[in-house]
A = this chain, B = another copy of it.
């Protein structure tokens, strides 16, 4: 590949960027696109529909760039959450380290490579790229120490930047945990693999177990129901509601005290709330067969998983950390994901299957990784000029033109690879879903790692190592674009467009950190090999300590910061609990908890809308109460029956 081909490729990319920039700049000003570009603000009601017809709309402007640039981290944190900040930090970190590498390579490494051998240089545009690589340096050259020095500078600055980023993101995460509004997931654990017993329902088992072993801290629980069958159940309930409503129009009027509104099917209180008066119970007796039917239906649909709510955050974390039963495959506890982060369809996966699923997806992903090579190498082979000419002779004339040649050799292979790579993330997301992750963020993190391994394998090992290693290492920093790859994978779900549904609290950072370390060590090892080939044992020898230093640095960060991203500390949680208790907010939080995890939010919301108007603050319209049994009350009724 010649320099001019590289420049053509770069030129096309830059041109495309500017074009997209222009398009975005114009399109965002069109009123019709407001719901596309300002979805989030729209949802929050921060934007009005002004529609002035002016020419300014048709020209690109740069003010939004300034605005985006001027947005402070606090603003992003407030608007997009910690994940958005971490995502930006990853980008900024990548830009910083690339700038450092670029400066050093352009000023120090590139001239050395260019004048590495005594030779007559052509004009730079028609010069082969090889002249700028380390391949052009003489064997045993003394100038190789400069490459070694460049590697040292890049590695040290990367480690330094990583350390400060890790420290500050860890601090942000701690603040995020302690200072944010009460998070239901802090009070909740997910119990899976509840043992089945013929005598009692899963719900009863959960209640009995936690009342027995965690009596002082157990608040209530909520079963997870097997889906699919659920819709049918909801329909049944709806029908029955209509029947009951007709029958007990007046009776229900007196007996309802809807102090707590919940979706009904979800959640159960330990101290069953007495909504019923004695008369109501007598009404019950008449309808017992119908209720019994629904009761047994409900019992059948229970899966062996439940959310268990605790009175304090500390109690929840304790229950999630300690092995509950002497059979480790029973009563498996984990801290629950955030309510919007729950990946419901995986919750009723039998826990016993999970380890097999994990192994199976690992195998499948590996097989996919290898199979992926077949089409890529086939299509990439096509982009070789002579082969193309052989297969499609009519292109011969076209391919002889210089510009087309440059596009085909310089740009096409990477475009083909990128297009194929586009199929990878959805595939890995599928694998991660099958794997059994209980949260959306967990699923995405897992997919993210899989895509990373895939990229490393494909881009570096296959593409780089299949060609001759040296000729491909244009600058030492080439593997460092992994963080950028990562940045592409990380959901973009933040300032104007997306409403952040869930928040992983910056848990993507350790992945970025590890990937950067991997890239550093990989480039250092490649450098050792290259120095060896260039017969410079001193440069090789000097690079060894750098590898060791980098690995030790990584280990230190793993010890010092990683646990913060994996768990919460007792100290923090206890302090938070105390503050909430002191301020009397706990009761409020408990109420919030009972309605936080709603498995059938869509279905029940639909029913709410058609049959019952519930105010957003959860209280009923008084007219509805008068008009008959409301849907949530029906479910509460059922629950009480069920609870007996």
Q: Which residues of A contact B (CB under 8 A)?
A: 174, 213, 317-319, 321-329, 331, 355-356, 359, 552, 555-556, 559-564, 567-572, 574
Contact = CB atoms under 8 A, between A and B. Distances in A.
B571 A324 contact: yes
A75 to B, nearest CB: 25
A247 B325 CA distance: 59
B213 A559 contact: no
B355 A559 contact: yes
Nearest to A559: B355
A570 B355 contact: no
B359 A570 contact: no
Contacts of A318: 318, 321-322
B329 A560 contact: yes
Q: Is the interface of A mostly helix, strand, loop or mixed?
A: helix
B571 A213 contact: yes
Given A356-B552, A359-B552, A325 B571 contact: yes
Contacts of A563: 323, 328
A590 B562 CA distance: 37
A322 B321 contact: yes
A639 B326 CA distance: 41
A568 B323 contact: yes
A559 B332 CA distance: 11
A328 B571 contact: no
A555 B355 contact: yes
A574 B213 contact: yes
Contacts of A329: 559-560
Contact of A564 (B322, B328, B571): B328
13 contacts: A213-B570, A318-B322, A319-B570, A322-B569, A323-B563, A323-B567, A323-B568, A324-B570, A327-B560, A328-B562, A328-B569, A355-B555, A359-B552
A325 B178 CA distance: 13
A326, A356, A559, A562: most-surrounded residue (chain B CB, <10 A): A326
Nearest to A318: B318
Contacts of A322: 317-318, 321, 567, 569-570
A574 B323 CA distance: 12
Contacts of A317: 322
Contacts of A355: 555-556, 559
B326 A572 contact: yes
A583 to B, nearest CB: 19
A323 B569 CA distance: 5
Contacts of A559: 328-329, 355
A555 B352 CA distance: 12
Contacts of A319: 570
Closest 3 CB pairs of A and B: A328-B563, A326-B569, A321-B321
Nearest to A216: B216
B560 A174 contact: no
Contacts of A569: 322-326, 328
Contacts of A323: 563, 567-570
Contacts of A356: 552
Contacts of A571: 213, 324-326, 331
Contacts of A326: 174, 564, 569, 571-572
Contacts of A555: 355, 359
A296 to B, nearest CB: 30
Contacts of A321: 318, 321-322
Contacts of A572: 326
A326 B324 CA distance: 25
Nearest to A359: B555
Contacts of A331: 571
A213 B321 CA distance: 17
In the complex, which of the residues A324, A327, A556 has the most CB atoms of chain B within 10 Å of its own CB atom? A327
Contacts of A359: 552, 555
A170 to B, nearest CB: 9
A547 to B, nearest CB: 13
A556 B356 CA distance: 9
Contacts of A570: 213, 319, 322-325
A134 to B, nearest CB: 30
Nearest to A212: B574
A384 B327 CA distance: 55
Contacts of A561: 328
A572 B317 CA distance: 19
Contacts of A325: 569-571
A281 B637 CA distance: 69
Nearest to A319: B570
Which of A213, A317, A567 has most chain B Cβ within 10 Å? A213
Given A318-B318, A324-B570, 16 more contacts: A213-B571, A213-B574, A317-B322, A321-B321, A321-B322, A322-B567, A322-B570, A323-B563, A323-B569, A324-B571, A326-B571, A327-B560, A328-B562, A328-B563, A329-B560, A356-B552
Which residue of A321, A327, A328 has the most chain B CB atoms within 10 A of its CB atom? A328
A508 B304 CA distance: 34
A329 B562 CA distance: 11
Contacts of A562: 328
A482 to B, nearest CB: 25
A53 B560 CA distance: 69
